Amino acid sequence: MLAYNISSTEIKVYWGSIPVYLQNGIILGYHVIVTMKSSVKRNLTALADTREMVVSDLQESTTYQVSISGFTVKGRGVQSNPVNVTTDKYRGTETIACNANPSSGVAVETSFSLSCANWHDLNTPLLYDCTLHLAEGLTTILWYGYSSNVEVLLPPGDSLKNNSLKIHVGATSSTGSKETTSLDVQVCDV
């Protein structure tokens, strides 16, 4: 079983099927039990073919213990060992701020410094990605790494949109939760 936070109030839980030799009959479903300090906060049921679940309405910055047990017509099976997972801290109205310096320049000549701040995740380090959507559904990766500041050269912007390019930026935590934003840059043709 694997459990990780996806926001300040939600966690995602994945599990595999119970090996046949451990089943006490046909598995009818699974119980997902979420506790905090030995107190049951959620006792949810999933169908037999389900292998993942999002648990919502949890408290921010709180550590929960998650366990799973299968059940048959004979009753509930052995509960798995609990896995600890901590929800993120609520960011409130604080927004992710990204900028390009300079904010405009010449294609393939101007070195743009892209930087972002106000990402919030308790599970650092964050892995950053900067992408640019191209024509025909293609995407190019401008940057992928652990630095929130990067220097890039850019292609010309869309002449129909005042030479503007929309750069998409994401930050992924060590648990897989991801935040995204975008910024616009003006890039003139040579």
Residues 38-93 have pLDDT tens digits of: 899 999 999 999 999 999 999 988 999 999 999 999 999 999 999 999 887 766 55
Residue 190 has pLDDT above 80, yes or no: no
How far apart CA 179 and CA 170 sit, in angstroms, is 6
Domain identity same for 74 and 102: no
pLDDT of residue 91: 61
Residue 92 inside a domain? The answer is: no
The residue out of 86, 111, 131 marking a domain boundary is: 86
Contact 66, 13 (CB under 8 A): yes
pLDDT bracket for residue 120 (50, 70, 90): low
pLDDT of residue 47: 95
Threshold 0.85, pTM exceeds: no
The residue out of 67, 86, 105 marking a domain boundary is: 86
Domain identity same for 118 and 68: no
Q: 151 forms bridges with which residues in the sheet?
A: 113
Domain identity same for 175 and 142: yes
pLDDT of residue 92: 57
Residue 103 belongs to a domain with what CATH number? 2.60.40.10
Look up the domain containing 163 and give its range.
Answer: 97-188
DSSP assigned state of 9: S
Contact 35, 69 (CB under 8 A): no
Give me the count of residues in the chain.
190
Domain identity same for 118 and 176: yes
Buried b (16+ CB within 10 A) or exposed e, 78-112: eebebbebbbbeebeeeebebebeeebbebeebeb
The residue out of 86, 110, 136 marking a domain boundary is: 86
Domain identity same for 82 and 16: yes
Q: What are the percentages of helix, strand and coil residues in the chain, rounded to 5? A: 5, 55, 45
Domain identity same for 81 and 136: no
Residue 55 inside a domain? The answer is: yes
Contact 112, 130 (CB under 8 A): no
Residue 91 inside a domain? The answer is: no
